[in-house]
A and B are shown apart, each in its own frame.
Chain A
């Protein structure tokens, strides 16, 4: 059987992309962010006991976790066969790399132009936000993003046969992350636009939407009920401290959006949205317009984390960019500029290389460069030497390092769900590091029963400080000093104010 040339090109692209991701990811022995170490603890626990870690004695000095566990189960399964860190990096990157195939499938179905489809697939795979989030982290996004677009691909031409694939895929996505709510919003917007624009709609589309909605509600009620009762509507934000949420959004500007989504997709994608809502008609394209609009809306309402919003907006805009490019080529074919089509392709590819591929490549390199160093990790691993009951204070972004490498209790980490007074805790940790008065700092340590605290470059960058001004030799002993400083509070010498 003769294999078609486009499949060879696609396989080569996939292999190249996967290989590159893997190469850069394996440059570091560690994962980039601390939430990966929360994931790693879950994976290890599942591999050992078959159950996720629900009741944890280390995070926040003891708490309950609630989360969608499927992705961790999936990774735990592979760790039973192969060495842990490497196989997790391989599987994670493999899932993330499938985006290139999924976008090719979608583009070739909608655009029906192989060249443009390949351009779209490459563009989607090099969206900076996507690379940043998935290359060296254990992130359900690696599975959710390709999975969600595969779901939309199947939904575009839904029929009885495709439903058989859609149902298990929907279940897998819902049990991997609650972020799939974005798909429900998108499909509702799609139904709304279809209704307003009187598109001929299949009955099965609404039926699938019902299934999706009910399954999502049912599974999320079972898993997150306690969290809802505790946090109310704040559960949308995973109980993240409001000052942190504000920080997420105030740091965002147009340049950052351009950098995360890409210049060409943003410009051409927006044009396609305008064009296909007001002028032209295409039911399939409306599916992707809906996902762009719903992500944008939820992002503007501050209901979606920026990273996640950028990834979904970016990928949907890439598809819409492909549509705009196809329309342009078709227009050129009908005009005197037909002979310049290849020049246009070349121009687009050149712009792409400059605006997306090179930054993407630099980002790939940076991700591995900015991964935690061995010295940094050693500091947390050193915590194993302190008594098991002792609690360690660090910035929330280092909490999971304490739990994973040090196997000691932390005051705070980035898993905020089901934590009482998270705002107070967050602000007190912040004020601790910015403190001038020793007695106030001691009071914070005393409140959380913490005897040790960590001071790293990350802490300096986060709070804009060079030194801890409240530290003196009388009350605090340096017990570890190698890139990261770990202090021990001398309880005998310095007692808190209320005692």
Chain B
């Protein structure tokens, strides 16, 4: 009885430690950012800000969470909601892992790696369309584990209402649970996973390359190499080791191997799905760490150093990720310029800039020529190709015809665009034209931003 009580107390202690660790990391994340600027991080987030600012109704193709946030202090809620939901998500993850991972040390390490993973920090640090559905999805999964199928069904439906794209995760979960509890052989669930992934990739019209370009994966999926989120390099190495270690039980693990590959392929199309790939990765990372810890080493000194280095590497990845997000755009100068531009831009007037800033411009009720959604989901990408061509063009006629045809009145240029994102030199491409033509007038130049006005009549 006493032992049971002690175990319960121990579990509670670790659970509270995890909540504390998560809170500390997220507080650091926000405090570092707020020390630099009060502006919400990432340009992608301004897709939601746009929806919220426009006060669209629930039926106007806006997510429920954006609609709810639009009723309160949106800037505050956009910071606090993911954080609070993160605490609930940690609790659910803890409960789920308690059911799945029987070994206490492995459970602790797995959750520790997950909390420190840049993906998890991103999902609960930056407002997005995944943190709330994740909560319901985790709840649904926990209900299945506790054999409360009706309740789990309700939560699955809520998840789908909040983010319909998560149907693929729902399918995956159901197939995995089916394989674990009901299936007589492994082939049907595996085929089910592969077919689901294929179906998802086919219906998602993303622009991401399907081919596995090593450099692309490195820079788009590993934050240590510049990705916006993903697993840290040390967790990834640990996960790889875990996968190798788990190979001795390959039949038992095969469903997870296939799920990992399928989820990764789906993540190439829809980046936010990577959080689910991360769940599998941290499971194997935890497995590898425990194996390293449990194995009898000839030299304890080396063992301690290796384990410390791995932990330091994991912490270092999350630390540098948090630091990176404290400096990430938009900057104060960019926001000031948009405040100013918002007052000048007329109805039906379009602003030309890089597609990455489309959501940001839109959130100030400024119509961009193109935004990131177009880049990601347009099949032909004609507008992107044309924009690239204009950015590089030095043909006055070509540029002005394009601007007039698309009703573009302003060109919004920031520092990043001039430092490699679009141009590498001061007078590269269209920059040479706008600097030397009377039709273009620099109407704004402050800090890191320039705004050029195009007047065909000059």
**In the complex with contacts A221-B233, A233-B215, A228-B316 CB distance below 8 A:** no
Q: At the interface, yes or no: A421 with Cβ under 8 Å from chain B? A: yes
Nearest to A207 among chain B residues (CB) is B302
Cα A229 to Cα B226 in complex, Å, equals: 6
For window 186-236 of A, CB contacts with B under 8 Å fall at 202-204, 207-208, 210-211, 214-215, 217-218, 221-222, 225, 228-229, 232-233
B309 touches A214 (CB 8 A): yes
Q: At the interface, yes or no: B310 with Cβ under 8 Å from chain A? A: yes
Cα A210 to Cα B312 in complex, Å, equals: 15
Q: Mark B221-234, 1 if CB is under 8 A from A, else 0.
A: 00011100000011
Distance (whole angstroms) from the CB of B216 to the closest CB of chain A: 11
**Residue with the greatest number of chain A CB neighbours at <10 A, chosen from B226, B298, B320:** B298
Distance (whole angstroms) from the CB of A228 to the closest CB of chain B: 6
Q: Please, which residues of chain A bring their CB within 8 A of the CB of B226? A: 229
**In the complex with contacts A221-B224, A225-B224, A214-B302 CB distance below 8 A:** no
Q: At the interface, yes or no: B424 with Cβ under 8 Å from chain A? A: yes
**Residue with the greatest number of chain B CB neighbours at <10 A, chosen from A221, A225, A228:** A221
Choose one: B298, B313, B320; the contact of A204 (CB below 8 Å).
Answer: B298
Choose one: A210, A217, A218, A232; the contact of B302 (CB below 8 Å).
Answer: A210
Q: Please, which residues of chain B bring their CB within 8 A of the CB of A439? A: none
A211 touches B305 (CB 8 A): yes
A203 touches B298 (CB 8 A): yes
Q: Mark B395-426, 1 if CB is under 8 A from A, else 0.
A: 00000000000000000000000001000100
Choose one: A167, A218, A229, A420; the contact of B316 (CB below 8 Å).
Answer: A218
Q: At the interface, yes or no: B299 with Cβ under 8 Å from chain A? A: yes
Q: At the interface, yes or no: A160 with Cβ under 8 Å from chain B? A: yes
**In the complex with contacts A228-B225, A421-B424, A218-B301 CB distance below 8 A:** no
A215 touches B309 (CB 8 A): yes
B298 touches A167 (CB 8 A): no
Q: At the interface, yes or no: A154 with Cβ under 8 Å from chain B? A: no
Q: Mark A426-467, 1 if CB is under 8 A from B, else 0.
A: 000000000000000000000000000000000000000000
Q: Please, which residues of chain B bring their CB within 8 A of the CB of A167? A: 301-302, 305
Chain B contact residues, majority secondary structure:
helix
A232 touches B309 (CB 8 A): no
Q: At the interface, yes or no: A164 with Cβ under 8 Å from chain B? A: yes
Choose one: A211, A221, A222, A225; the contact of B306 (CB below 8 Å).
Answer: A211
Cα A221 to Cα B314 in complex, Å, equals: 12
Distance (whole angstroms) from the CB of A63 to the closest CB of chain B: 15
Q: Please, which residues of chain B bring their CB within 8 A of the CB of A421? A: 424
Q: At the interface, yes or no: B150 with Cβ under 8 Å from chain A? A: no
**In the complex with contacts A160-B299, A232-B219, A207-B306 CB distance below 8 A:** yes
Q: At the interface, yes or no: B17 with Cβ under 8 Å from chain A? A: no
A225 touches B299 (CB 8 A): no
A218 touches B306 (CB 8 A): no
Q: At the interface, yes or no: B297 with Cβ under 8 Å from chain A? A: yes
A203 touches B305 (CB 8 A): no
Q: Please, which residues of chain B bring their CB within 8 A of the CB of A222? A: 316
For window 175-231 of B, CB contacts with A under 8 Å fall at 215, 219, 224-226
Tally chain B residues at the interface, Cβ within 8 Å. Answer: 25
A208 touches B215 (CB 8 A): no
Q: Please, which residues of chain A bring their CB within 8 A of the CB of B271? A: none
Choose one: B215, B233, B297, B303; the contact of A217 (CB below 8 Å).
Answer: B233
Cα A377 to Cα B116 in complex, Å, equals: 54
Choose one: B224, B225, B306; the contact of A210 (CB below 8 Å).
Answer: B306
Cα A160 to Cα B316 in complex, Å, equals: 29
Q: Please, which residues of chain A bring their CB within 8 A of the CB of B313? A: 214, 217-218, 221
A207 touches B298 (CB 8 A): yes
A214 touches B306 (CB 8 A): yes
Cα A164 to Cα B424 in complex, Å, equals: 51
Q: At the interface, yes or no: A70 with Cβ under 8 Å from chain B? A: no
Cα A218 to Cα B302 in complex, Å, equals: 15
Cα A214 to Cα B302 in complex, Å, equals: 11
**In the complex with contacts A211-B309, A215-B309, A218-B309, A232-B215 CB distance below 8 A:** yes
Cα A233 to Cα B215 in complex, Å, equals: 8
**In the complex with contacts A222-B316, A225-B320, A229-B225, A211-B302 CB distance below 8 A:** yes
Cα A202 to Cα B298 in complex, Å, equals: 9
Q: Please, which residues of chain A bring their CB within 8 A of the CB of B297? A: 203-204, 207
Nearest to B219 among chain A residues (CB) is A232
Cα A228 to Cα B233 in complex, Å, equals: 13
Nearest to A204 among chain B residues (CB) is B298
Nearest to B292 among chain A residues (CB) is A210
Cα A43 to Cα B368 in complex, Å, equals: 52
Cα A210 to Cα B215 in complex, Å, equals: 25
Q: Please, which residues of chain B bring their CB within 8 A of the CB of A207? A: 297-299, 302-303, 306
Distance (whole angstroms) from the CB of B329 to the closest CB of chain A: 16
Q: Please, which residues of chain B bring their CB within 8 A of the CB of A225? A: 224, 320
Q: At the interface, yes or no: A277 with Cβ under 8 Å from chain B? A: no
A160 touches B298 (CB 8 A): yes
Distance (whole angstroms) from the CB of B316 to the closest CB of chain A: 7
Q: Please, which residues of chain B bring their CB within 8 A of the CB of A217? A: 233-234, 237, 313
Q: At the interface, yes or no: A163 with Cβ under 8 Å from chain B? A: yes
Nearest to A498 among chain B residues (CB) is B427
Cα A225 to Cα B321 in complex, Å, equals: 12
Distance (whole angstroms) from the CB of B431 to the closest CB of chain A: 13
Nearest to A203 among chain B residues (CB) is B298
Q: Mark B285-312, 1 if CB is under 8 A from A, else 0.
A: 0000000000001110111011001101
A221 touches B298 (CB 8 A): no
Distance (whole angstroms) from the CB of B25 to the closest CB of chain A: 19
Cα A164 to Cα B304 in complex, Å, equals: 13
Nearest to B427 among chain A residues (CB) is A498
Q: Please, which residues of chain B bring their CB within 8 A of the CB of A214? A: 234, 306, 309-310, 313
Cα A160 to Cα B299 in complex, Å, equals: 6
Nearest to B237 among chain A residues (CB) is A217
Cα A334 to Cα B69 in complex, Å, equals: 91
Q: Please, which residues of chain B bring their CB within 8 A of the CB of A233? A: 215
Nearest to B303 among chain A residues (CB) is A207
A163 touches B299 (CB 8 A): yes
Cα A8 to Cα B15 in complex, Å, equals: 66
Nearest to B312 among chain A residues (CB) is A218
B301 touches A164 (CB 8 A): yes
Distance (whole angstroms) from the CB of A173 to the closest CB of chain B: 15
Nearest to B307 among chain A residues (CB) is A214
A204 touches B299 (CB 8 A): yes
Q: Mark B59-78, 1 if CB is under 8 A from A, else 0.
A: 00000000000000000000
For this complex, 15 residue pairs linking A to B, each with C-beta atoms less than 8 Å apart, are: A160-B299, A204-B297, A204-B302, A207-B298, A207-B299, A207-B302, A208-B302, A211-B305, A211-B309, A214-B306, A218-B309, A218-B313, A222-B316, A228-B225, A421-B424
Q: A214-B306, A232-B219, A233-B215 are in contact. List 5 more A-B contacts (CB 8 A).
A: A163-B302, A167-B302, A204-B298, A214-B309, A221-B224
B: residues with CB less than 8 A from A are 215, 219, 224-226, 233-234, 237, 297-299, 301-303, 305-306, 309-310, 312-313, 316, 320, 420, 424, 427
Closest 4 CB pairs of A and B: A204-B298, A214-B309, A207-B302, A203-B298
